[in-house]
Amino acid sequence: MRISDISQDCQQMKRDSIASTSKTETAPLNSKLPRVGTTIFTVMSTLASEKSAVNLGQGFPDFDCDPALVDAVSHAMKSGFNQYPPMPGVPALRQAIATKIGVVYGHQYDPATDITVTAGATQGLLTAIMCAVHPGDEVIVIEPAYDSYVPAIELAGGKPVLVQMVLGANGYSIPWDRIAAAVNSRTRMIMINSPHNPTGSVLGLADIEALKTIVRGTDILILSDEVYEHMVFDGARHESVCRHPELAARAFVVSSFGKTYHVTGWKIGYVAAPPALSAEFRKVHQYSVFTVNTPVQHGIAQYMQNPAPYLDLPAFYQRKRDLFRDGLKNTRFKLLPADGTYFLCVDYSAISSLSEADFAIWLTSEIGVAAIPVSAFYQSPRESGIVRFCFAKQDQTLQLALDRLAKI
């Protein structure tokens, strides 16, 4: 069984369901995303469920959030915060976000004009692209890249310009000389992601300086995906664009409460940007989602008064990373660096010569552990013999996966 077969099965089930409920012929529709099918995350999670595999594929925790956060949201509901909030977000939450950014990164955003609460980070990314990218504009995307980037650019009528990271002895890195060479008069935006999904790499100060040099003296915008901002390990600091005024002045910075507080299903995040960029962002935001879940906003605003949950997050996930890495040292996988996020990439070339997609299928079906092929994060086929595991799981889940992987 191949990835394409599973994806086709998912699509066929959808078509069969539609056909069974209606005999009326559907009018033809010219797709805006003709190359897009079922996401790899859905495909692998479906297979994991069918095979009773440990799902280390899709990136979500299998443990609950802090009960105090649920209590805060519940209290907001019971207190009557159940109607539309202001379009850009509840003022108390925008203030809490601005305060956090100021304390952690030293940059002052005005909560009234510069912070917008979004229905998850993916909506924030899409909205930033839709408000800034016009037909014919080019957007530089660094691969491997999260799968929503390119479709969002195409929906805006833009052209993705793909530059691949370099895989060396020290893991993945960005070839800034190639980024610079890709810039031209049509370049509207450069997308960066740190800590990086799927590779677990983290941008350092040298990377930030290289980016500054490239955009200096241009009108190029930056879209900085920082949803794993509080998951940087081994004492390193997260080089948020917010730390660097020269970049912050031209950037949309995207983050996610779902990732930070273990509530991915709540779909709530935010975008920080200077006033002129935020004004354009909000024009699109108000006509796409308008605003975001009211009681959740109030609950998170209250919960953020205690910074410990996000300040303690690096140690929390580093322990899980180390547990998982230590267990994998007893297997035939070669471990790549994991400096941030809750993902770990491994090289399986000593185990199999299968393609990454086929190896992920085999691993899920025969060994009982689901992973994601890193090739799925490229627009064109690119094989490196690497798959990605998610270690945002309970210790017993990770141990069960390790027991199975040790048998390979």
pLDDT at 356 over 90: yes
Per-residue pLDDT tens over the stretch 113-127: 999 999 999 999 999
Give yes or no for a cis peptide into 245 (omega within 30° of 0): no
Residues 6+ apart with CB under 8 A from 318: 233, 234
- 67-309 architecture in CATH? 3-Layer(aba) Sandwich (3.40)
pLDDT band with cut points at 50, 70 and 90 for residue 23? low
The reported pLDDT for the residue numbered 21 is 47
pLDDT band with cut points at 50, 70 and 90 for residue 3? low
pLDDT at 7 over 60: no
Q: How far, CA to CA in Å, does 118 sit from each of 87, 139, 253, 283, 404? A: 10, 22, 12, 13, 39
Q: Say which DSSP state 363 is in.
A: I
Q: Of 99, 58, 84, whose CA–CA distance to 264 is shortest? A: 58
The reported pLDDT for the residue numbered 16 is 56
Q: Of 244, 234, 269, whose CA–CA distance to 255 is shortest? A: 269
Locate the domains of the chain by residue range.
Answer: 3-60+312-405, 67-309
Per-residue pLDDT tens over the stretch 284-331: 999 999 999 999 999 999 999 999 999 999 999 999 999 999 999 989
Which CATH code of 3.10.129.10, 1.10.274.10, 3.90.1150.10, 3.30.300.30 fits the domain covering 3-60+312-405?
3.90.1150.10
Amino acid type, 309:
P
Per-residue pLDDT tens over the stretch 232-273: 999 999 999 999 999 999 999 999 999 999 999 999 999 999
The mean pLDDT value for 99-115 works out to 98
Burial class (CB in 10 A: 0-12, 13-18, 19+), 290: exposed
Per-residue pLDDT tens over the stretch 150-195: 999 999 999 999 999 999 989 999 999 999 999 999 999 999 999 9
Q: Of 277, 278, 300, whose CA–CA distance to 81 is shortest? A: 300
Q: Say which DSSP state 27 is in.
A: P
Q: Any alpha helices (H) in 87-204, and if so which ranges? A: 91-105, 121-132, 149-155, 176-182
- Where b means 16+ CB within 10 Å and e means fewer, 10-37 reads beeeeeeeeeeeeeeeeeeeeeeeeeee
The reported pLDDT for the residue numbered 24 is 77
Residues 6+ apart with CB under 8 A from 176: 207, 210, 211, 214
pLDDT band with cut points at 50, 70 and 90 for residue 14? low
